[in-house]
Amino acid sequence: MFSSTASSISKMSALVSGVGTDAAIYDDPQDADIPTLLDSRYDADKAQGLKRLIALMAQGQDVSTFFPQVVKGVASQSLEVKKLVYIYLVHYADKRPDEALLSINSFQRDLSDINPLVRAWALRAMSGIKVRAVGPLVIMAANKCARDPSPYVRRCAANAVSKIHSMGDEQHFDELVQLVSILLNDNYPGVAGAAAQAFISVCPERYSLLSSSFRKLCGLLYEADEWGQISLMDILMRYIVAKYGVVRDFSSVNVEFSCLQQAHEENGGDFYKADTRSSFPDERWEVRLMLSSTLSLLRSQNSAVVLQAAVIHWYFSPGNELSNIVKPLLFLLRSSLDARHVVLANILSFSKCEPSLFEAYFEDFFICSSDSQAIQALKLDILTNIVSDLSATQILQELEAYIRNPNSQLAADAVNSIGRCALRLSSTVAICTKGLLKLVVSRSSRDDDSLHNANDAEPKVGDSGREQYSPGRGRVVVQAVSSLRAIMQKHPAEQDQVILHLLRNLNHILEPTAREVVIWMIGEQAIARPALAEGIPVALRYLAKTFANESNGTKLQVLNCLAKIISSSQRCSSLKTVLLILQYILDLAACDLNYDVRDRAWILRVLLAGHLDAIKHHSSYDADPRLPEIIDAILLNIDQSKLDPGVLSKAANSMFLRQKSVPVLPSLSLQPSTFLPGSMSHMVQHKSPGYRPLPRERYTDLSPSSPTLPERQPELQSQSESTDSGSESFESEDDGNYTDDDLAVISDADGNTAKEKADLISLSDTELLKRDASPEDLSPSVDLESWLGPEEPSNSPEDFDKSSNSEVKKVLALDFTNGDGLEVHYGFMRGPSIFSSSMVCVRLFLHNKSSEPMHGIEINDGETAGRQTAFESGTARIIPPEAVALEPGEKTELNAHVDFRHNLSIVKVCLHCNSNKFPIKISPEPGVLLRPRKMSISVFLAAEARIAGMHRSSRRIYLHGISPGQCCKRIVAAARVSFIGSRDAEDVVLLFGAETLTGSLLCLISVALEPDAVHGTLTICCEDTLFGLALLNHLDKALTSLESIDS
């Protein structure tokens, strides 16, 4: 009596101290004997045990060993135990599918329970067990639940459909489609939403299913739960696109917006003509209906719903109604703070196409201090997209404010944006230029002193100046100078003032990159208006003084600048000064520590010989008698007789005096892409697995009788804008001038390869469309074989010998320093041994590198002397080759035949030569212990399904983007397997068959290549698990090694 009170008091005190029951379990799950608890007769104990398991699971421990005991718990009547068992099952079902099968019977019983929760959970658990054998049972269960009175159960049935489909069992495809169609017609909005998701995962192109229920689905849209709304909108949108096409797209990103808008209006007008002129619903009522039923969803609290609805309106709204999406999208930036990044990225894409939409709302894109760097970059990009004459003043003021921000990244980005605003709006050029110049000057000058004239400034670069340089300030100056340069190139009229300003402040601009840009601009100025270039000799004199202390990049630019001046300004008044400076700098550069600078100096010396020659011989330049002297000094070490001045000056002109294109100031965040807005691919800027572009073709015939769909055209998603940053493009222009044409060729070739790649990807895409083909159709794909080309591995051993012997991989067995001058390599031959089908032919490559002849070279087990016909070493049996003799320098090849007996351990043999013994080790590769086995794909699949569980090992591998053909070649080269064919599921799957030499165990290899060609999954099914694993490692290495064997 007393003790029981005491125990309850202690329990109560535990409660009062605030420790919940579960915390104790979480902290110390193993303080009780879990198996005993699980086996207990009482549900409370079972629940305790399960909670402890889940605690261990939460902490990342593998508790799958309890699986059999947990599965028994399914039979319990307690809801809580059932739920906990279910949580456990879902977590581990993929690890132990066979044991999960034990629970099937209880689930089937639960399907008839009166409690809808129990029925739903049973179905969820059943569909979570991904074993093909139970496929038909699960489909039966789903069928039953799809007609259940409780909508909760019906929704579970819809979710189960996607799960069954993900098992990859094609046999039941038609039944699944049937189920989807039943569920889509459900009257309960929540069920229809889940059914839409099932539709997306099972049969996303079966638009015929939607044509009958379209009106109803639109009606259910507002009442469905938010997640269902997203899926429903997705399928409705694709249906409409397939039927009518779109009004607006992202493809015309670079078109001037006014003409784009006009095109849209025309297009839109045409699109809705019938609507406005007739009162009865015409054939496009579906578009109208969808637009009107998604309008209210723009007011949803769920940002994903709003964005999806906005995407629909983007694609289908006529021009004047498009503005409906603007306010809801902008409101998301405030109402769903976590969604800001994604929403901004999508607004960026919209604003790129239709800047006018967001023009009036620029205030929403002003940066506040809580914005992260990614959000700041997106906002700035949007601001530069939407700047207009009306908003320019305010936007520029705002950008100016950001320059004062302590965050140097933001300041630099703001400067970049100012440059882009000026490039976009020519009315702002003057004010932007002025502001940027002021910035360069104020940020560069270290003191408050009055501006020095470049002429009398002390060269401060390199010594005391560098020490004070702060990275933040430097960034801003570099960005400002780059922006100025871009503006100048687009609007050369402003140039004079800017150049003079920059020249004057050159001694204050310390950041090397900024100096490079300024010097480059001086050179360009010299080309553009040689007559105006009064200040140039002054600048050059300053640069000559500082040359030795400049950075390497700046030195190169100084040299280029000189070359430009010499090539262009032959009538320059101060030619003598320029020439003297040229001589001085070339001499300095010739002794520079950096070889690039030295090389550049030598190249220029030769290239400029043509121009200098012309100056020398031109009669009108005799003003100064010292000119020829200076020129001779410059060309001192050059044998002028071998040079053709005409050719050289032409070459120099084509390099230095050509028209430079206006650089593109890089955008700060995402590049414009044609990915569907709102998709993951749009955010991560690459095609993510499972991405489906909008249907391109108009499927006019959507009647249920014709489910076959036309194939899509390959879609090229190349980036339209160059991504070069300002300084990079700047460098490549000057340094790579003479290869500009070649570059064009290269980029052209790149374009072609990109196209080819796109084609490869799209091949698998089109195959995807044929997914509803019957299983017999899974014959080897023609395309794949064409990739393999003429070298397609054939399976007859003779062919293997012929084609592959030359490429036998040699392994060093004995080095000549250890072998008294005898060097031995060995390699495994592809063909079967002549002695026995279970033997491998090992070829020994002998090379006598000594000056003595060798005789009596033979192999034995090392125990006995003399020739043996056959011997055992470890587990292997070896038939050695005949004894041979080698003259000095002679090479020979011998064949030994080894039966490794399916063992991967190293075989030790002994090589006799000149009565010396050398131990040799031969380590077999797993790929060698196989023999190719040809079979049909259906046999392969059947066999693969049989070899499951432990016998199957798979690994996700990184493929470096090799093509399926190359992949095939690598596998065939690395292992003696036969290529069976390929199967197109979601990924391209290559199949290879083989059997082990000893025991003839089947060994099935499949490589699933993901659409991005970067990753793949290598799966090996072999009844010898250890061997399978070794083979997996071996093939993994062969596939992922960077040195490509096929090149």
What minimum distance in Å lies between the beta carbon of 327 and other proteins?
5
Given the complex with other proteins, which of 47 and 609 has the nearer CB atom?
Answer: 47
What minimum distance in Å lies between the beta carbon of 765 and other proteins?
14
What minimum distance in Å lies between the beta carbon of 138 and other proteins?
12
Residue showing tokens 């053709």: 644
**CA distances in angstroms from 847 to 816, 817, 853, 866, 886, listed in the order given:** 8, 12, 11, 22, 8
What minimum distance in Å lies between the beta carbon of 860 and other proteins?
51
Given the complex with other proteins, which of 14 and 255 has the nearer CB atom?
Answer: 14
Token duo for residue 248: 């607006």
Residue showing tokens 């108009």: 698
- Is the CB of residue 177 less than 8 Å from the CB of residue 203? yes
What minimum distance in Å lies between the beta carbon of 136 and other proteins?
19
Given the complex with other proteins, which of 258 and 370 has the nearer CB atom?
Answer: 370
Residue showing tokens 């801003």: 476
- Closest by alpha carbon to 107, among 169, 151, 160? 160
Given the complex with other proteins, which of 44 and 1045 has the nearer CB atom?
Answer: 44
Given the complex with other proteins, which of 295 and 898 has the nearer CB atom?
Answer: 295
* Count of CB atoms situated within 10 Å of the CB of 61: 12
- Closest by alpha carbon to 356, among 247, 260, 251, 250? 260
Measured distance CA(847)–CA(749) in Å, rounded: 45
Three-class HEC string of 935-959: CCHHHHHHHHHHCCHHHEEEEEEEC
Given the complex with other proteins, which of 366 and 835 has the nearer CB atom?
Answer: 366
Widest CA span in the chain:
128
Residue type present at position 516: E
Residue showing tokens 């055992």: 872
3-state secondary structure of 824: strand
Residue 463: what are its φ and ψ, rounded to 5°?
-95, -105
Q: Is the dihedral of CA 184, 189, 195, 197 positive or negative?
A: positive
- Is the CB of residue 145 less than 8 Å from the CB of residue 156? yes
Measured distance CA(232)–CA(229) in Å, rounded: 5
Given the complex with other proteins, which of 11 and 802 has the nearer CB atom?
Answer: 11
Given the complex with other proteins, which of 404 and 642 has the nearer CB atom?
Answer: 404
Q: Is the dihedral of CA 531, 537, 543, 548 positive or negative?
A: positive
* Beta partners for residue 859, in sequence order: 911
Measured distance CA(608)–CA(561) in Å, rounded: 12
- For residue 710, give the DSSP letter: P
Residue 902: partners with Cβ closer than 8 Å, 6 or more residues away: 929, 996, 997, 998, 999, 1024, 1027
What minimum distance in Å lies between the beta carbon of 880 and other proteins?
49
- Is the CB of residue 767 less than 8 Å from the CB of residue 987? no
Measured distance CA(307)–CA(166) in Å, rounded: 28
What minimum distance in Å lies between the beta carbon of 366 and other proteins?
6
Measured distance CA(579)–CA(587) in Å, rounded: 12
Given the complex with other proteins, which of 127 and 781 has the nearer CB atom?
Answer: 127
Given the complex with other proteins, which of 74 and 894 has the nearer CB atom?
Answer: 74
Residue type present at position 300: S
Given the complex with other proteins, which of 263 and 360 has the nearer CB atom?
Answer: 360
What minimum distance in Å lies between the beta carbon of 416 and other proteins?
18
Token duo for residue 558: 């100084």
What minimum distance in Å lies between the beta carbon of 8 and other proteins?
6
What minimum distance in Å lies between the beta carbon of 954 and other proteins?
11
Token duo for residue 699: 């499927």
What minimum distance in Å lies between the beta carbon of 204 and other proteins?
11
- Is the CB of residue 129 less than 8 Å from the CB of residue 85? no
What minimum distance in Å lies between the beta carbon of 15 and other proteins?
5
What minimum distance in Å lies between the beta carbon of 166 and other proteins?
8
Measured distance CA(1010)–CA(142) in Å, rounded: 30
Given the complex with other proteins, which of 734 and 987 has the nearer CB atom?
Answer: 987
- For residue 714, give the DSSP letter: P
What minimum distance in Å lies between the beta carbon of 421 and other proteins?
18
What minimum distance in Å lies between the beta carbon of 684 and other proteins?
4
What minimum distance in Å lies between the beta carbon of 70 and other proteins?
14
Strand-pair category, 978-984 with 930-932: unpaired
- Is the CB of residue 528 less than 8 Å from the CB of residue 564? no
- Is the CB of residue 833 less than 8 Å from the CB of residue 839? yes
Given the complex with other proteins, which of 15 and 647 has the nearer CB atom?
Answer: 15
Given the complex with other proteins, which of 450 and 700 has the nearer CB atom?
Answer: 450
- For residue 876, give the DSSP letter: E
Residue ranges of alpha helices (H) inside 73-115 are 79-92, 97-100, 104-110
Residue 263: partners with Cβ closer than 8 Å, 6 or more residues away: 252, 255
Given the complex with other proteins, which of 330 and 761 has the nearer CB atom?
Answer: 330
Given the complex with other proteins, which of 238 and 473 has the nearer CB atom?
Answer: 473
Given the complex with other proteins, which of 220 and 488 has the nearer CB atom?
Answer: 220
What minimum distance in Å lies between the beta carbon of 535 and other proteins?
29
- Closest by alpha carbon to 1044, among 939, 973, 992? 973
